[in-house]
Amino acid sequence: MNKRKAGTVLGVLSLLPLLISILFFYNQRGPNADISMFITLYGILAIIGIIFTITSWVMSKRKIFLVIGLLGNSLLLAMTYLLLLAMGISEP
């Protein structure tokens, strides 16, 4: 497998954490949802997605995966931060 093909595979894999987080959100929402589990899972998925995105860009030099992957995973990381902030505000 050459570097360009491996980079393309990693680029597609960088979008997978976004899909997993969306599916997990719609599956576990409601009043009984554990927010600390959401924060942990979203943070880990966002960091993994960013690592895959940067590795994909280094290997294949395709900017479309870089833009979409970084934008999506950065938004997921920002949502994680806002959840963490909301959890800190709500607890006395």
What one-character-per-residue DSSP string does 33-60 give?
Answer: --HHHHHHHHHHHHHHHHHHHHHHHHHH
Model pLDDT for residues 60-83, shown as the tens digit of each residue? 888 888 899 899 999 999 999 998
Per-residue pLDDT, averaged over 5-17, amounts to 87
- Rounded-to-integer distance, Cα 43 and Cα 24, Å: 13
CA dist list (Å): 16 to 45, 49, 50, 73: 9, 8, 11, 10
What integer pLDDT is reported at residue 43 of this predicted model? 92
Cβ–Cβ under 8 Å, residues 36 and 74 = no
Task: Residue count of the chain, please give it.
Answer: 92
What integer pLDDT is reported at residue 36 of this predicted model? 86
Q: Does 4 score more than 90 pLDDT?
A: no
Per-residue pLDDT, averaged over 16-32, amounts to 88
Q: What percent of the chain has pLDDT over 90?
A: 39
Residue 21 has which token pair? Answer: 């987080």
Per-residue pLDDT, averaged over 46-59, amounts to 91
